[in-house]
Amino acid sequence: MSSLLGNLEPGHRFEDQSFTIDRETATSYANAVGDESTLAIEGKVPPMAVIALGLSQVIEALALGGGTVHASQEVEYTAPAELDQPIVASTVLKGNSVRRGSRFATVETTFSSTSGDSLARAVSMVIVPA
């Protein structure tokens, strides 16, 4: 787990992750978090669904498992995602250090359409047992 991160320097680019969010997933997400907006009905994806589902793929790709804590999140939206729109998540390691037996890793993920139009940006910090 953290041994993967232990070998990486800030600036490392991870393999892009691609995903789509269909109406059922968008509606399930909205119901789970109490989002009462009509975005899914209007053919749009709730903004936090893009971040949550995209970052879960990033964390899975990093092979971070038990004991990992998602410590902070900064999010910026530039355009709404459409239902069933292919979304590309591009992630860069911004920080990677060990303190008191835990690894603190900061990643910046940009979310865009396949044509390159920006949808969102997220900076996340995770704490992983070293």
Tokens linked to 120: 């969102």
The string of pLDDT tens digits covering residues 88-121 is: 999 999 999 999 988 899 999 999 999 999 999 9
Alpha helices for 15-46 (secondary structure H) = 23-33
Whichever domain contains 54, its CATH number is 3.10.129.10
Domain that holds residue 71: 2-129
pLDDT band at 3 (very low <50, low <70, confident <90, very high): low
DSSP codes joined into one string, 50-83: HHHHHHHHHHHHTT--TT-EEEEEEEEESSPPBT
- Mapped onto helix, strand or coil, the DSSP state of residue 88 is strand
The string of pLDDT tens digits covering residues 21-44 is: 999 998 888 889 988 888 877 889
Instruction: Describe the crossing of helices 23-33 and 47-61 by its angle, rounded to 10 degrees.
Output: 100
Q: What are phi and psi of 103, to 5 degrees?
A: -95, 130
Give the chain's domain count.
Answer: 1
